Amino acid sequence: MECERCHKTTSGYELHDYCAECGKNLCEDCMEKGCCGNVPASSGMQAAEEADAAEQLQEEEAEQLKDADFTVDTGLPNVEGQQGEIGQ
């Protein structure tokens, strides 16, 4: 893979990070030097990871909402929560 700014190449399967603003593949040195007015450059890889994490969080929240609806439907108290409080 080749850095689009200094054209340094990495061997093997190593991936460069990329600017979250313009999407250019940049080596570590160029990321540190900055891009698009950000020093260091905003990491595209980090932004993608955070987007993934936010998506997963939303899915988990949706699952929890389903569980909450189920508890309301059966009219059962939240036994799990009560046990947790006694344990502490």
The length of the chain is 88
* Minimum CB–partner distance for residue 55 and Zn ion (Å): 24
Is the distance from CB of 66 to CB of 49 less than 8 angstroms?
no
Q: Does 19 bind Zn ion (CB under 5 A)?
A: yes
Pick between residue 9 and residue 78 the one whose CB is nearest to Zn ion.
Answer: 9
* Beta strand 25-26 pairing with 17-18: antiparallel
Cα–Cα distance measured from residue 54 to residue 48, given in angstroms and rounded to the nearest whole number = 10
Q: Does 20 bind Zn ion (CB under 5 A)?
A: no
For the window 29-68, what string marks contact with Zn ion as x by the rule CB under 5 A? -x----xx--------------------------------
Residues 6+ apart with CB under 8 A from 80: none
Cα–Cα distance measured from residue 42 to residue 65, given in angstroms and rounded to the nearest whole number = 34
Residue of 3, 17, 18, 44 that binds Zn ion (CB under 5 A): 3
Residues of this chain that bind Zn ion (CB under 5 A): 3, 5-6, 8, 19, 21-22, 27, 30, 35-36
